[in-house]
Amino acid sequence: MNKALVTLAISLLLAIPVTAQITQEDAIDLLEQYPAARLDSLLPKTAFLGWFRNIVGSDAKITWEINDCGELTGVASVDQGRDLPVCFEISALLPDRRIVGVAIAVGTEKKGLSGAPTVSNIYIDTGKGTMHIKRLRDLPLALRPPQNR
């Protein structure tokens, strides 16, 4: 096999984040029980996932993924050996085609689920741009059509 191809393959493998310690099921189990009020003190004490489903509505198509909270640089020499954060990102495609998402840091690649979950990112993608929301408590209002705010 070509030495350059082997080197490229090894480099690519090193650049891929390994989140074997935190599975999607682990994060879902945690956030199905984790009170929304622990992520934002003005939210109800209901479970975060239930709160999210409620604000996006029953017609929203919900998906989720585990990711690196946007911290991976893509440079193997920089990323190798780092204990990257792990986020559970839930997003919903709304009937009006907007996408709303919340990324919650649930641990790190090396430590697994660890520490209290924290909000890493909240956004609404309108298709024409992305609006970032600072606090979970502001998300329901931001989701309303402009004339209903």
CA distance 97 to 95: 5
Q: How far apart are CA 83 and CA 101, in angstroms?
A: 24
Is the distance from CB of 49 to CB of 90 less than 8 angstroms?
Answer: yes
Stretch among 25-29, 65-69, 83-87 having the lowest mean pLDDT: 25-29
**Highest mean pLDDT, choosing among 21-25, 48-52, 105-109:** 48-52
The percentage of residues in the chain with a pLDDT greater than 70, rounded to a whole number, is: 84
Euclidean distance between CA atoms 40 and 94, whole angstroms: 23
Average pLDDT over residues 44-58: 95
Comparing 59 with 73, the larger pLDDT belongs to: 59
Evaluate whether 102 touches 71 at the Cβ level (below 8 Å): no
Q: What is the mean pLDDT of residues 20-39?
A: 84
Provide the whole-model pTM. 0.79
Residue 57 CB coordination number (10 Å): 11
State the CB neighbour count (10 A cutoff) for residue 107: 22
Spatial neighbors of 108 by CB under 8 A, at least 6 apart, are: 83, 84, 85, 86, 114
Sign of the dihedral through C-alpha 147, 136, 31, 90:
positive
